[in-house]
Chains A and B, each alone.
Chain A
Amino acid sequence: DAGVIQSPRHEVTEMGQEVTLRCKPISGHDYLFWYRQTMMRGLELLIYFNNNVPIDDSGMPEDRFSAKMPNASFSNLKIQPSEPRDSAVYFCASSLAPQFSYNEQFFGPGTRLTVL
C-alpha cells in the first residue's frame, strides 16, 4: 500500500487567498483525521471523519477552516481566507475501525503551509 498521500507537500500563498489541502487515506480505512502541527501548539486534532461523515470538528479553529470527505478515498481541508497565523504543517492520518487496530493512526508526510 502507498500509505496516506497528501498534496501538495509545500504550499506558499499570500494572505487572503484560498488554500486547499488534499488527502488520500489508506484504502479500507474507516477513519480520517486532520491535524495541525506548530511550534507553539504542537500537534492538534482539527477534525475527524468516520465513513466519510464528520464526527468531531471541535478542533477546527474558526469558520475560515472547512473540511469535506466526498468519498472514501479523498478528503480536503480548505482555508478561506488564509492568514499568516495559519502557517503550519498539516497532517492527514487514517485508521481502521478500533476493533481491528486499537486505533493505530497512519500519518501522511504532511503539507507545509506558509501564508505570507
Chain B
Amino acid sequence: AQSVTQLGSHVSVSEGALVLLRCNYSSSVPPYLFWYVQYPNQGLQLLLKYTSAATLVKGINGFEAEFKKSETSFHLTKPSAHMSDAAEYFCAVSDGNNFNKFYFGSGTKLNVKP
C-alpha cells in the first residue's frame, strides 16, 4: 500500500526566507505525486503535480517540487516566503494500481513571520 510521510507538522519561516516542506512516499509502482494547499476554512487547492514527465515541477504561487526516485522524496520549495503563503500543505500520492485513490500526508502548517 502507498503511504506518505511529511516531516514536521509545523514549519516557521521569516518572510523572504526559503520555504522547504518535506515529503517522502512509499509506492511499489511509479506514482503520481501532488502538493495541495489548504487555507483556513477552505478546501484543498492543487499547487502542483508530478506525472512522470520532468522531475522538477513548477506550480502556482512560485512553488516548485523535485521528484527524486532514489530518495522517494517530493519536497516542496519556494525561494522567498510571503505572508500569504501561511497555510497547511498536504503531499499526496496516488495508488499506482488505482490512480484514482489518493493517500494524503498528515499535513504541514506553514507559519510566515514578518
| Residues in A lying within 8 Å of B, measured CB to CB | 4, 31, 33, 42-43, 45, 48, 50, 55-56, 91, 93, 95, 98, 102-110
Contacts and interface: CB of A to CB of B under 8 A. Distances in A.
User: Range of interface residues on chain B?
Assistant: 20 to 34
User: Is chain A's interface secondary structure helix, strand, loop, or mixed overall?
Assistant: strand
Given A42-B107, A102-B51, A107 B101 contact: no
6 contacts: A43-B104, A55-B100, A56-B98, A102-B51, A107-B43, A108-B43
B43 A48 contact: no
B101 A56 contact: yes
A105 B51 contact: no
The 6 closest A-B pairs by CB, nearest first: A107-B43, A43-B104, A107-B44, A102-B51, A42-B106, A109-B43
